[in-house]
Amino acid sequence: MKKSASSKAEIFVKDRELVLPGQALAKGSLKPERGVYVDRDGIFRSCMVGLAEINNKRVGVIPLRGSYVPKTGDLVIARIERMSQRIIFADINSYCKAIMIVPKPEQRGWGRRYSLSAKYEELAPGDVVLAKIMAYDGVSNPLLSIKGEGLGKLAGGSLIMIEPSKVPRALGKRQSMLQVLKQKARCDIIIAQNGMVWINSDDPKVIRAIEKALR
């Protein structure tokens, strides 16, 4: 165990050590990165099976598998699995399911219902949406929202998967790679942080070409 008097931090594992879900990693004035949550006692614990990453007063876990580690602020593509009253459960290619809370209908003007509520209520199991992760603490289910321009149901098209770790390369600097793909494929493409890619085309040749380029 390493101890630092200056930062009052304790590290319980070695860098690149194999760790399991719930395993204690560290404690003290460190910053949790992806794959880590902090429990009520201030212990940094792993969310998954992976390799511990300790550097620059930061503690994270690199997943061994291709599952996505949720992060607040990320744009993700989610597939609706089930709906229960005003809660929607969705698959985001992660070790945990995400949820969306349907807002209550509001009345505006001459009894017109607020469009945001209708945006949620038109969803059904099997639908695919572009959403933003509004909150995730490593313990509770990630909270999604489709409020905002461009967010919501993705109608038609095709869905493919890439490793989440390959997303930055697939997007390119300032999304330059993505723009090149769009121009060559002549269709809209959305590459989400969770490794899900939506292609606004049903042409098998186009889909295979994009899949090959991204992998």
What's the total number of domains in the chain?
A: 3
User: Which residues, other chains included, contact 5 with Cβ-Cβ below 8 Å and sequence gap of 6+?
Assistant: none
Q: Stretch 92-121: mean pLDDT, rounded?
A: 74
98: nearest Cα among 108, 90, 106: 90
Residue corresponding to tokens 């942080």 = 193
Q: Which of 155, 172, 193 is the last residue of a domain?
A: 155
pLDDT of residue 117: 73
Predicted pLDDT at 108: 58
Residue 172 shares a structural domain with residue 145: no
Structural domain of 9: 2-63
Task: Read off the pLDDT of residues 45-71 as tens digits, 9 standing for 90 and up.
Answer: 988 778 899 988 899 988 776 778 889
Task: Read off the pLDDT of residues 123-147 as tens digits, 9 standing for 90 and up.
Answer: 999 999 999 999 988 778 899 999 9
- Whether residues 163 and 151 fall in one domain: no
Contact partners, residue 120, CB within 8 Å, separation at least 6: 88, 100, 102, 103, 146
Q: Give the pLDDT band (50/70/90) at residue 87.
A: very high
124 and 100 within one domain: yes
Select the more confidently predicted residue: 120 or 112. 120
